[in-house]
Each structure stands twice: as structure tokens, then as C-alpha cells.
Amino acid sequence: MTDLKYLLFLGCAIPYRVSAYEVSTRKVAQKLGLDLVDMPEYNCCGLPLDPVSHDLMLTLAARNLCVAERQGLNIMTLCPGCAGTLRKVNKMLKEDKKIKELVNEYLKHTGLEFSGSIEVKHLMQVLSEDVGLERIKGAVQRPLSQLKVAEHNGCHVLRPVKYAGFDDPENPTVLKRLIEATGATCLDYLDETECCGAPIIGLNEKIPLQLARDKVRHIKDAGAQAMVTVCPFCHMMFDANQSRIERMFNETFGIPVLHYPQLLGLAMGLSPDELALKELRVDASRILSNLRS
């Protein structure tokens, strides 16, 4: 079996507002024997500044990759934006000599040089490819067989295919299999593969809230009791903004939005407190009491 040791790249959004995702990931990782080393001296992956300067995005990402190369460890991220960016830049620099030269020229100012010796994976990839479904199923002590949920993947884990090379963005199944490993049922719904709109919320609030509203509506109509995400930004759109969406459209949803490791942790027998379920804005206690009965 491969050595399950990774540099944990936390990114910006998780320490800023979504620490329940980090808390639950660390708890679940411990149970699965994943060794997570905090990535030292990391900076923003670069994605948020790609619209401002593509060169800076490449260089910020490359700097992170160089730090990991020095540590000699592969990176695991929780945020699909970070995973998508670091993975893409890693691939670009490994394959495109011209871009590698350009970025290394910038990196010279810091004494770093990209060599291309590590890999980057999102949590979902580590769980499905390295840990494996069988081992996850083996760690489940309290199957969530009474729970029906719907999934929402993060765009950047899956797209663009050219750089992602993971799962099928038109018909993603990895997160579904991971959810089913907990014993829960994962339901299909209409616009399952659609973006949540979060990246433009700083410029236009109406469009992302409409997008998120449609998804939550369809999830509720499909009969799901909760939603499961693997991205801090998507999570904010559906959880932190859910009451705003309800007011805006005069509808009631009350759909709790769990980070995948929270769902997995519950199935492993960890307590709601250990998994920071209290931090969710949409109260999850109703689904929890169903599980106990």
C-alpha cells in the first residue's frame, strides 16, 4: 500500500470561514490512518488573482509546489479551487518548457526553482484513489442507511478535463460512491453538475443566489434530507446563504449542508461535536435524531 502521508494545503477560505471542514477532515484522516503534515509557509494558490494577472497566478501556485518539493511530499487540498489550480500549474510546468522557463525566471527572486517532483490531489482523490472505498467501508461503524442525500461536486476538481483528468464531469460518480460507502443513499437531481456561482458573488449577488436556489430546490424535490459538498465556497453558497435564498425567493428549504468528512465521520461513529456539526448554519439536528432512532 502506498504511504498515506500528505502535505495538507488549507488554502484561504477554510481558515477564514469554513473550519468545520478542516476539523472533520482531520478527525476522519486520523481514523483512516492518513498522515497529514501542515504545509509550512504556504500562500494563496493563485486562483483568485488569475483574472488580475495570469503570470502571478502561475507563480504563486509554483511557489507552493516548490515548497512541497522541498518537503518531498505530495499535496492534499480540501478546496477544489486550490486542487484545480495547483494540479493544473504542476502539469503545465511539467509539460510546457516555455512556461516553466518563464515561471522559474520569476521564482529566481526567491531562490526557488520548480523541478516537478510531486503530485497534487484533492481530498476526494486521496480517499478514492489512495485510501480506497473498501478501506473506507471497513471504517464505517454506524451505517447511515436511513439517510438520503444529494451531492454537489466542486467544478475545479472535475474541469477542465484537459487538466483535471479525474472522474467524469458530465456524470460524476466518485463522490456518489464515497457517499454510498457511508451507507447513505445518494439521489440524482436535475442540475447536479452545475456550478454554484460562488466565484462571482463579489461582483453580482443575484446570479449566484439564483443558481444556488435552483439547486437546493431540485435537491429538496428529489427527496434529499441533506446535501453533501467537498468545497468551502460551494458550502458557503448553500449553507451560509441558504436563509438569504429562502427570504429572497420566499421559499423554505431547511436542507443541512454537510462537508463530506462530516458525513463520513458520523458513519465512523464520531460524535457531532467532534465533527463540528454545530458550525453549520442550517441546523442538522433533525437528520441526526433520525439517525439515532
Which residues form the interface with another protein (CB under 8 A)?
10-13, 15-17, 19, 22-23, 26, 38-44, 48-56, 59-60, 63, 99, 106-107, 109-110, 112, 155-156, 159-162, 169-170, 194-195, 197-200, 202-204, 206-208, 210-211, 276
Closer residue to another protein in complex, CB, 102/133: 102
Name the minimum Å distance from CB 263 to another protein: 20
Closer residue to another protein in complex, CB, 45/255: 45
Closer residue to another protein in complex, CB, 17/135: 17
Closer residue to another protein in complex, CB, 198/266: 198
CB contact at 8 A, 230 and 13 = no
Which of 85, 87, 72, 162 is closest to 121 using CA atoms? 87
Q: Which three cell numbers stand for residue 55?
A: 503570470
Name the minimum Å distance from CB 216 to another protein: 15
Q: Across the strands, what pairs with 75?
A: 7, 120
How far apart are the C-alpha atoms of 66 and 5, rounded to whole Å? 17
Name the minimum Å distance from CB 128 to another protein: 21
CB contact at 8 A, 18 and 235 = yes
Q: Is 57 strand, coil or helix?
A: helix
CB contact at 8 A, 75 and 118 = yes
Name the minimum Å distance from CB 221 to another protein: 18
Closer residue to another protein in complex, CB, 13/184: 13
Closer residue to another protein in complex, CB, 180/214: 214
Q: Is 198 strand, coil or helix?
A: helix
- In this structure, the strands spanning 35-38 and 120-122 are unpaired
Q: Report H helices in 33-79.
A: 54-71
Measured from the Cβ of residue 8, the count of other Cβ atoms closer than 10 Å reads 21
